Structure 1
Amino acid sequence: MRSLKTGVLFLLFSLMTACGQQLVEFPGDAAVPGSDAGTNVDAGTSPTVVSTNPSNAATSVAINAPVTATFSTEMDPATLATAFTLKQGMTPVASEVAYLGTTATLTPVGNMASNSVFTATVSTMGKDVNGRALAMDYTWSFTTDAHIISPTVIATSPVNAATNVSTNKRITATFNKGMNPATINTSTFTVRQGATAVPGSVTWSAATNTATFTPASPLGLSLPYTATVSTGVQDRSGSSLATNYEWSFTTGACSQLPVALSSAGNFAVLAGSTVTSTGQTSVTGDLGVSPGTEITGFPPGALIGAKHAGDPTAAQGIADLTTAYNDAAGRTLCPVTVAGNLGGQTLEPGLYKSTSSLAISAGDLTLDAKGDADAVFIFQMASTLTTTAGRQVILTGGARSTHIFWQVGTSATFGTTSSFQGTVMADQSITLNTGATLNGRALTRIGAVSLDGNKIVKPAP
C-alpha cells in the first residue's frame, strides 16, 4: 500500500513540477523534492550572506586575517558558533566566532598556513533571530601568502569627540578580530581625565570582540576624558596594534546616575500589601510582598524566580525600595518640566519632573539614548502614571530599560495590551490591565500590585 502511495505521490509531484508548482509533504512521509520539509524555512525570507572578507577566490590573504560574513538580517549569535567554520582542505581550523551588528567574525587560533587554500562555510545551522535558517550552505575559498596584518580598533563607545556623554558610561573598544584576553587589561586599556588616571576594571567579550573599561566610580560632570588602547594588546596569533589607539570625549553637564535599587533590584514584582494575579501571567525575576504576606494567582501564573511572601528578604527589598524611591524623588540636577500626555514625544536622557500626573495616551513615547547605552532616564511625578490601551514606550539609540526609572507619587495603571519599559516605583499601587507587558519592574512601597495575564521581565543589568 505504501509503495502505491509513494508512486502516486511521485507521479503527482512530476506533473506539478512540470507546471511550475510544488507539492506539499504529507505527514509521516519522507520530504518531497522541492518542498521546505525538514528545514521549516521559507526560502523567500531566509537570511543570506551578502558579503564576505576575504572575498571568494581572494589571494594574498594575510595568515592572521579575520574571516567575516555579513548577513541580510540580524542573526542568532548562538547558532553561528557551530555554523561558521574554516577548513584547510579537509582539516578544520580551530577558531573563535564573534558577532556584532549583522557581521560574524571568525578568528583562527594562531596563524593560518602560508600559501595555502582555505574554505569558509556558513551552514544551514545558522539562523536569524526569528529562527529562520539559511536556505543552503554558503561556501567560499581564499589563498594565503606569508604576510601578517596588525589588529585594529574598528569602533569605540563613546565615539571620538563625543559630547554629553553619561557619567555612568562604560568605555568600550571593539576590534576587527578575536584578541588574546590576557593582553587586555588596565595596563593596556586606560582612561585619563587630563593627566589623572581613572581607576577601573577591564573585561573582554569574545562574543563581540569588545573590551570594556568600567570606571570604579562615576565620571565627573562636564569633563574631558581620553581613552587609550596601547600596542601591548595582541591578537590570537601574537600580533600587536601598529600604534596606540586614542580617542577623547566629554561628559554632559546634566547626566544622571542610575537609581541604586540594591536588593529591590532582584525583584520583578514587589508590593507592600498584596500581589494578585488572574490568568496566565508570566513573571521573570523574584516576586515578593512585605509587610503583607498574600500572593495569589501563582499558579496558574508562571514565576521564573523566587517567591518571598512576608519573609526577611522581602522586608529588606521594601526597605531598599524606599531608599531608591527617595533617591529618585530627590534628584534635582537639570530637571525638565513635563506634564500630562507624553505620547507622541521623543525624549533624550535626563531628569523629567511633573508636579502632577503623567500619561502616555495620544501616541507612543520614544526614549532615545543617542547611542549611549549607559544613559539614564528618570521621571518624577507627584501623582499618577497612566497608559491607555495599546500604547508603548519605544527604546531607540541604544536606550536600555535597566536605566529607566519612574518615581510615581501615588499609583500607576497600565492599559490593556500596552507595552512599558523601565523600573516603576510607586508609593501606593500598580495595576497592569489584561495583556499589558513590562520590560522592567513593578515595585510598590505601600499598596498592591494587581496583574491580569501580563508578562513582566526583570531587565538585564
Structure 2
Amino acid sequence: MALCTVALAVLVMTLVTLMGAAKAYAAEAPVGLGVAGTYSALGGSAVTNTGPSVLDGNVGVFEGTSITGFPPGIIGGVKHSADAHAESAQAATTIAYNDAKGRAPTATYTADPAELGGQTLVAGVYKADVSAGLTGTLTLDGQDDLNSVFIFQVGSTLTTATDSSVKLINGAQACNVFWQIGSSATLGVRTDFVGTVLALASITANTDAVIDGRLLARNGAVTLDSNVFQSQFVRKPRLARRPS
C-alpha cells in the first residue's frame, strides 16, 4: 500500500511538472517588432525590386539610401530612405533580432543544413546550429491557440527550395512566426513563406515568392522579384498569388 501511495505521489508530481512545463511552453511571448512591424521590406544597405511586386506595408532603408524598382513595384505604405523613421525601424529590428536570438530553444537541429520540410511543429523555439533549408512543406500547428508563437533561430543561412511552403493550421498566426537568421535568407521561386525574417545580412525573395510577413535585413540588401506581401494584420485572409 505504501508503495502504491509513493507511486501515486510521484505520478501526481510528474503530471504537475509536465502541466507546468506545457503552460510555460505555450506562453512563449511573441518577438516585439516596434515600428519595424509597419514595414514589409527594410534593408540596411538597399532595397531592390524587379517586376510587379505588391507590398502592403512600408519600404525602407538605413543606413543605405537606395530603394529602386518602385514602380513597377507597388508600395501600400510609405517609402523611407535613410530618414528618421527608417533609422528607428532599424533600431527596432536590432532589438527584435537580439530578442529572438536570445530565446531558450525547445529543440535543436545539429545537421547542416537542418531540413525543415516535411515536419509538423507545435509552438516553440527551434534552433538550427548552422544553416537551415526548406524543401516541400513545413506545417506549423497552433493547437487551437491563436497566441501560439514559433521562433526559428538559424546560425547561418536559410534557403527555401522552389515551390516550398510554410503552412499554418489550427490557429497558428503569421504574425507570431519569427525567423532569426545569423547571415542571409533566400526564398526560392514560388515559395509560399510565412513569418517575419530578421536577418543579420541580406534577404532575397526570388520570382513569385509570396510572403505572409516581413523581410527585415539589418546590414545588407533586400532583393525582390515579382513578390506579393501581406504583412500588417493578424487573422487577415491571405492574398491570392498574383496572376501570371
State if a TM-score over 0.5 links the two structures: yes
Larger Rg: 1
Say whether the 8 Å CA contact 2:46–2:221 is kept in structure 1. Answer: yes
Deviation at 1:335, TM superposition (A): 2.3
Work out which of the residue numbers 191, 198, 202 in structure 2 matches 1:418: 191
Q: Secondary structure at the match of 1:222?
A: helix
Tell me whether 1:265 sits opposite 2:32 in the alignment.
no
Tell me whether 1:387 sits opposite 2:185 in the alignment.
no
Q: Structure 1 segments of 4 or more deviating over 3 A?
A: 252-255
Say whether the 8 Å CA contact 1:349–1:377 is kept in structure 2. Answer: yes
Mapped partners of 1:408, 1:328: distance in 2: 10
Change (3 A) 1:399 1:439: same
Work out which of the residue numbers 89, 92, 97 in structure 2 matches 1:325: 97
Say whether the 8 Å CA contact 1:293–1:310 is kept in structure 2. Answer: yes
* Structure 1 partner of 2:20: 222
Deviation at 1:457, TM superposition (A): 1.4
RCO higher in structure (CA 8 A, sep ≥6): 2
Say whether the 8 Å CA contact 2:56–2:232 is kept in structure 1. Answer: no
Q: Secondary structure at the match of 2:37?
A: helix
* Structure 2 partner of 1:398: 171
Deviation at 1:254, TM superposition (A): 5.8
Q: Which amino acid aligns with 1:389?
A: T
- Length, aligned pairs only: 214
Tell me whether 1:355 sits opposite 2:129 in the alignment.
yes
Q: Which amino acid aligns with 2:115?
A: N
Mapped partners of 2:53, 2:191: distance in 1: 14
Change (3 A) 1:253 1:406: closer
Deviation at 1:354, TM superposition (A): 1.1
Mapped partners of 1:446, 1:295: distance in 2: 15
Within 5 A, what are the aligned runs for 1:71-82? Answer: none
Q: Secondary structure at the match of 2:48?
A: strand
Mapped partners of 1:369, 1:359: distance in 2: 22
TM-score, length-scaled by structure 2: 0.84
* Structure 1 partner of 2:238: none
Mapped partners of 2:60, 2:137: distance in 1: 30
Tell me whether 1:336 sits opposite 2:107 in the alignment.
yes
* Structure 2 partner of 1:252: 24
RMSD: 1.6
Unaligned runs of 5+ in 2: 1-14, 235-244
Say whether the 8 Å CA contact 2:53–2:225 is kept in structure 1. Answer: yes
Q: Which amino acid aligns with 1:264?
A: A
* Structure 1 partner of 2:241: none
Mapped partners of 2:119, 2:209: distance in 1: 21
Deviation at 1:341, TM superposition (A): 0.9
Q: Percent identity?
A: 46
Mapped partners of 1:417, 1:458: distance in 2: 17
Unaligned runs of 5+ in 1: 1-162, 164-220, 224-249
Q: Secondary structure at the match of 1:402?
A: helix
Mapped partners of 2:25, 2:121: distance in 1: 17
Tell me whether 1:441 sits opposite 2:239 in the alignment.
no
Say whether the 8 Å CA contact 1:255–1:350 is kept in structure 2. Answer: no
Deviation at 1:253, TM superposition (A): 4.1
- Spell out, residue by residue over 1:57-107, the C-alpha distance to the aligned partner (whole angstroms, 9 max, x if none): xxxxxxxxxxxxxxxxxxxxxxxxxxxxxxxxxxxxxxxxxxxxxxxxxxx
Q: Which amino acid aligns with 1:422?
A: G
* Structure 2 partner of 1:41: none
Mapped partners of 1:300, 1:354: distance in 2: 37
Change (3 A) 1:279 1:253: closer
* Structure 2 partner of 1:94: none
Tell me whether 1:345 sits opposite 2:119 in the alignment.
yes
Mapped partners of 2:232, 2:57: distance in 1: 9
Say whether the 8 Å CA contact 1:401–1:459 is kept in structure 2. Answer: no
Deviation at 1:459, TM superposition (A): 3.8
Q: Which amino acid aligns with 2:20?
A: S
Q: Which amino acid aligns with 1:408?
A: I
Q: Which amino acid aligns with 1:222?
A: G
Deviation at 1:314, TM superposition (A): 0.0
